[in-house]
Chain A
Amino acid sequence: MNLSSVVVLVGIAADGWLIAFMSIRGRRPWLQATFAACALSFLVVGAWSVGRIEGLLSAVDDNLVLGLMLLTHALTAILVLGLIRGAALPRRRAATFLLLAPIPLLAYFAPIEGWTVATAYEGNVLGGFLVVCLGIALGETIYARQASPMFATHAFWLSLGVISLIVAGPIYTYELDFLGRTPLAGANLAAPLALACFARVALQTDPFPISPRPPKGRTTTGGIRAADAIVFDERHPKYALRTAEQEANSGRPTLIVARERAKITTSGVASAAFTPDQHAASRTLTTVSEFLASAPGGFVVLEDLADLSVLSGWRAVLEVVVRLRHVARDSGSTVVLCPSRLTESERKALKGLDLPWWPMADAATEIMAILAQSFGTGAGRLFDSFCRAHGIRRDDVTTDHIQALQDFLSRALTELSGVVGGPAAHGLQVQYEAAASVLRSFASQGAVEIARGKWASRRSSESDVDLVVTAADYWKGKEMEELFAAADAVSEREPLFEKARLVFVEQLGDAGEGVLRMQLARLGKKPEELDRIDLVRIADRATVDLGSLADVVDVPQEKERIQQQIESIRQKLELIAEGEG
C-alpha cells in the first residue's frame, strides 16, 4: 500500500475519533454539528482519495468528491468563524453558512469548465473559492490573535490548524505538481491536526455546566427589563443575588455565574460555576451567550468579576463585558455585573465602558442607620447582639435577615417588660415599632428603588451634620442600657433550632430548613425541644444522609462542593453544640 494512503488512513481514523470525542464532550450542539459536518467531509474525501489511489473506488463520480472538497473548505471557514464569533453573536451565527451558497453553483459549472479534484487549486474560480475559504479562516484567526486579549491563545491554535491545512492542501499540491507527482486527490494530510486544534479550542471555550436546566424560549416577564449589562455596585453581591431570586420567582429564566455554584434554592435559579483556569473568561462568555440564546429575555448575574480578572486577566474580562453587553442587547436580556473586590483601577476601567451603574446600599449599614434613628448611638450594640445570636458576621447580613432582626428586638423588649414599665416601656415600644416599620419598608425595596438612592444612611448622615446631639439621643436614658443588656441576654438564649436552621439555610439555601425539620422529625422532637445532644446527633445524621447524596453525584466538582457543604454544616453544628455546653 502507498505510504500516502497509510498516512491518510491513519488520519481518517483520527478524524473519526475526534468526531466521537466532540460528540461526547462538547456542550454546544450547533458547534458539535458544524464540527461533525466538517470532520465528516474531510473523512469522506480522505476515504475516497485512498480508494482512488489504491484503485478500489474508480467508479465514484469525480464531481461528487469535488463537491465534498468544496464542503471541507467552506465548513472549515464556517467552523473557525463560529468558534471566534459564535459566542458574541449567537443570533447571527447562521449568517456564516452563507459561505455554502456558492457550492451548488461551482459544482454545476465544474463539469462544464473541466474542473477536477486533481486540478482544484489551479488559478480559476474554483481554486479561488477554496483559497478564499482558507483565507477567511486564517484572516479571522490573525485578527482575533491581535485584537482579542480573551481569544489570543485560542487564536494561536486556530491559526496552527488553518496554516497546517494550507500547507498540506494547496502548497503540498503545488509541490507534488512541481515534482510531476500525482496529487492526493482531495485528501488533506493535515486534517486530523487541524481538527484536533479546532476541537481543543471548542472544548476550551465550552460553556460551564448549568443546573438546574432553565426553561427555554423567549420571555417577557421580570421586574428589570433593561436589555443591557448593568453594574450593581455593592461591596458584596447581595442585591444582585436577591434580584436574581425575584426574577426567577416571576418565571424569568435566570442564571448566576460565579466562582462557586449558587446554593440550592426553591426559586429555580440556574447556576454555573467557573473552573479556575485561564479560560474562565471565554467560557463565562459562552455560558451566558448559550443561555441567552436558548432563553432570550433572560436574566443573568455575573457574580465574581474580580476572580475572573485574576484568572484570565483584566483585559480579557473587559472584553467579556463588552461582548456580554452586545449579547444582552441582541437577545433583549439583562446581564448584571458585580464589581465586588475589583481594584480601583479596574473599577475605573469598567466605568469607562459607560454601562448603567447602579449603586446599591449595604444591608448592614442601612440596618444600622435605621436602628440609629430610633435607638441612637447604641444601634451598633443592638446589631452586634443580633449578629452574635445568629452566628453571622455584619458583612453577611442581608435584607432576608430583617424579619429575624425584628423578632430579636421584639424578644428583647419582652425580656424588658418585667424590668422597665410605664412611659419608658411605652416609649421603647414606640421606638421599636418605628424602627420595625422602616426596616420592613427597606426590606421591601427592590434593586430599582435602592438604585435611586433614598437610603437611611444617607438621610441620617445629612441630618446629623448640624446637630452634635440628636433629639433621639437626648431623649434616651437609662432604659436604653437595659434594652441593650436584654438584647445580650436574648443572644445567649436564642433558640437552638433557629441557630441550626440558619446553618442549614446558609449551606443548602431554602431547602436547608426542610432538611433540618426532616432530621428533627426522625428524632421525634419539636423545634423548641432541641438540645445540644440532639444537635450533635443531627450533625452526624446529616453528614451520613447528605454524604450518600454526594456519592451518587458523578460530576467531581459537584461532589466536592456537596462534601464541603456537609463538612461546613457538621463543623458549625458542633461549634453551636460546644457553645451551649
Chain B
Amino acid sequence: MDGRLRALAIRSLFLFLLSLVLVAGFWYHREFYQIGFTNLLIIGGFVTFLVIWAARLAMTGELPRGRPSGELAFTLEEGDRLLKRVARFVVRPSEGLGAPAAGHVVRAKYETGTEFARLLIEDARRAFLSDLTDEDARQAGFRSAADLRDAGTSRWRWHPEDVVTILRVRALGGTR
C-alpha cells in the first residue's frame, strides 16, 4: 500500500477509536450531563474542542511526532534523491544549522523556498569534514567523499577542518 494511504488509514482509525471512546464516555456519564444544560455545554464543549484539535493534528501529520521545526534547503537534485530514497544522509555545516534534535520532523524545502517534504531525523552525528568516509558520501547520494567535499566547497566554501553534521533522515510524505 502507498505510504500516504497507509498513514491516512492509520490516522483515520485513530480518530474513529477516539470517537468511540468519547461516545462511550458520554454514555457512561449520561446521568451527570442530565443535571443541566450548562454542564453539558462546558464539559462537552471542552471535550469536543480537544477532539477537533487532535483531529487537526492527526490530519496534518503532526501526530504523533509533533509539529515540524526548522528547515533544510536542498537543490532539486538533492531533494529528488531524498524523495526517491536514493539518499538517506544529509551533510550540512554544523554552525548555524536549523535542524531540530533526533526524533523530530524538519521541513525540507527547495532553494526556491517551496516545501517538498517533511523529514524525520532518525539519527545525527558530527564529524570533521576530513573524517567523512566514502560510505557517508554514498549514503548522501554522492559517489565518493571527495565528490561530496567538492560539492560542499562550492556551496558553503568549507575547509577540511570544518565540522559538519550528518543527519540520517526519512521522508514522511509530500507537502501539506
> Which residues from chain A sit less than 8 Å from chain B, CB to CB?
175, 178-179, 259, 276-278, 280, 306-307, 309-313, 316, 341-345, 395
- Is there contact, CB below 8 Å, between B125 and A307? yes
Shortest beta-carbon distance, B17 to chain A, in Å? 15
- Is there contact, CB below 8 Å, between B130 and A309? no
- Is there contact, CB below 8 Å, between B32 and A311? no
Contact with A along B4-35 (1 / 0, CB 8 A): 00000000000000000000000001011001
Shortest beta-carbon distance, A16 to chain B, in Å? 24
- Is there contact, CB below 8 Å, between A311 and B101? yes
- Is there contact, CB below 8 Å, between A344 and B95? yes
27 residue pairs bridging A and B, Cβ less than 8 Å apart: A175-B29, A178-B35, A179-B32, A276-B102, A276-B122, A276-B124, A277-B103, A278-B102, A278-B103, A306-B126, A307-B124, A309-B126, A310-B126, A310-B165, A311-B102, A311-B123, A311-B124, A312-B102, A313-B100, A341-B163, A342-B163, A343-B95, A343-B96, A343-B163, A345-B95, A395-B128, A395-B130
Shortest beta-carbon distance, B70 to chain A, in Å? 11
Q: Which residue of B lies closest to A176 (CB)?
A: B32
Q: Which residue of B lies closest to A315 (CB)?
A: B101
Chain B positions 17-66 with a Cβ under 8 Å from a chain A Cβ = 29, 31-32, 35
Residues of B within 8 A of A344 (CB): 95
Chain B positions 83-134 with a Cβ under 8 Å from a chain A Cβ = 94-96, 99-104, 122-128, 130-131
Instruction: Rank and list the top 3 A-B pairs by shortest CB-CB distance, nearest first.
Output: A310-B124, A278-B103, A306-B126
* Contacts A311-B125, A343-B94 known; 8 new A-B pairs at CB < 8 A: A175-B32, A178-B35, A278-B104, A306-B94, A309-B126, A341-B126, A343-B96, A345-B95
How far, in whole Å, are A341 and B95 apart by their CA atoms in the complex?
10
Residues of B within 8 A of A259 (CB): 125
Shortest beta-carbon distance, A507 to chain B, in Å? 16
Shortest beta-carbon distance, B24 to chain A, in Å? 11
- Is there contact, CB below 8 Å, between B102 and A277? yes
- Is there contact, CB below 8 Å, between B31 and A179? yes
How far, in whole Å, are A344 and B122 apart by their CA atoms in the complex?
25
Chain B interface residue count, Cβ-Cβ cutoff 8 angstroms = 25
- Is there contact, CB below 8 Å, between B31 and A310? no
Residues of A within 8 A of B122 (CB): 276
Shortest beta-carbon distance, A556 to chain B, in Å? 16
Q: Which of B31, B100, B126 has the most chain A CB atoms inside 10 A of its CB?
A: B126
Shortest beta-carbon distance, B160 to chain A, in Å? 10
Q: Which of B29, B102, B125 has the most chain A CB atoms inside 10 A of its CB?
A: B102
Shortest beta-carbon distance, A200 to chain B, in Å? 13
Shortest beta-carbon distance, B29 to chain A, in Å? 8
Q: Which residue of A lies closest to B95 (CB)?
A: A343
Shortest beta-carbon distance, A345 to chain B, in Å? 7
How far, in whole Å, are A342 and B32 apart by their CA atoms in the complex?
58
- Is there contact, CB below 8 Å, between A310 and B101? yes
How far, in whole Å, are A143 and B87 apart by their CA atoms in the complex?
41
Q: Which residue of A lies closest to B103 (CB)?
A: A278
How far, in whole Å, are A309 and B103 apart by their CA atoms in the complex?
13
Residues of A within 8 A of B99 (CB): 310
How far, in whole Å, are A309 and B130 apart by their CA atoms in the complex?
20
Shortest beta-carbon distance, B68 to chain A, in Å? 15
How far, in whole Å, are A86 and B103 apart by their CA atoms in the complex?
25
How far, in whole Å, are A129 and B38 apart by their CA atoms in the complex?
32
Shortest beta-carbon distance, B63 to chain A, in Å? 13
How far, in whole Å, are A278 and B167 apart by their CA atoms in the complex?
13
Shortest beta-carbon distance, B25 to chain A, in Å? 12
How far, in whole Å, are A178 and B43 apart by their CA atoms in the complex?
16
Shortest beta-carbon distance, B150 to chain A, in Å? 20
